[in-house]
Structure 1
């Protein structure tokens, strides 16, 4: 074996041990709660970013004093954000079990529709 190579399956940078799954530098088994926690934080970050976009949309509408249709679009953005907030809260609660299931197809589609509705509303407000 050459001087710079490590054997497969052993050492800190090698693969996992038999039956134990992936191991870290200290040889401890990977924390199974880390992935749900990262997913939970991602949902929270997305919800916060969504709220900032809706706030900017509403601020631009109120600041410009546009026609009523702009106010309606800003209200639609706020309503869509509330729906997304409910979806995110539902998913975050589903991650509290020891082995959370995958994201449902309907929830994924609803989140995607909510996410696409706000930028489209913003573009419509900006173009009007």
Structure 2
């Protein structure tokens, strides 16, 4: 286990960002569990959505340490880069899940 990274940010920005990504991971996991209720109505289509949500949650979890480390290093260097790819992926996936959910409800 590596030593904890130290930074001088009194607002603990890297820790708050990590907690936000953790909440996103938990939200994906909870939503995938809620989708189990739709399984009798929509069949295997829902299994695909559940699988995608679980993959998204695991992807966030797997990359969380690297994002935190980059944020702390950016703070100590005085230049923090936004994770544009991760935010764009989350935005597109949530929009896709929302549109798919509305479509399933309207077509049933």
TM class by smaller structure: 0.5 to 0.7
The structure with the larger Rg is 1
2:81 is paired with a residue whose SS is coil
Partner Cα separation in structure 2 for residue 81 and residue 121 of structure 1? 16
2:41 is paired with a residue whose SS is coil
State the match for 1:47 in structure 2: 25
The TM-score, its normalising length taken from structure 1, stands at 0.57
Gaps of 5+ in 2: 1-7, 75-79
Larger mean CA deviation between 99-108 and 44-53 belongs to: 99-108
* Alpha-carbon distance change, 94 to 75 in structure 1, aligned in 2, over 3 angstroms: same
The TM-score, its normalising length taken from structure 2, stands at 0.65
After the TM superposition, which segments of 4 or more aligned residues of structure 1 sit over 4 Å from their partners? Answer: none
Partner Cα separation in structure 2 for residue 31 and residue 75 of structure 1? 43
Q: CA deviation at 1:112?
A: 0.9
Is the Cα–Cα contact under 8 Å of residues 91 and 103 in structure 1 kept in the other structure? no
Of Structure 1 and Structure 2, which has the larger fraction of its residues in helix?
2
- Candidates 91, 99, 109, aligned match of 2:73: 99
State the match for 1:79 in structure 2: 52
RMSD, aligned α-carbons = 2.6
Query: Which structure's relative contact order is higher, taking Cα pairs within 8 Å and 6+ residues apart?
Result: 2
1:1-128 alignment, distance < 5 Å: 30-31=9-10, 34-57=12-35, 59-62=36-39, 65-68=40-43, 71-87=44-60, 89-97=62-70, 98-100=72-74, 101-127=80-106, 128=108
Gaps of 5+ in 1: 1-28
State the match for 2:3 in structure 1: none
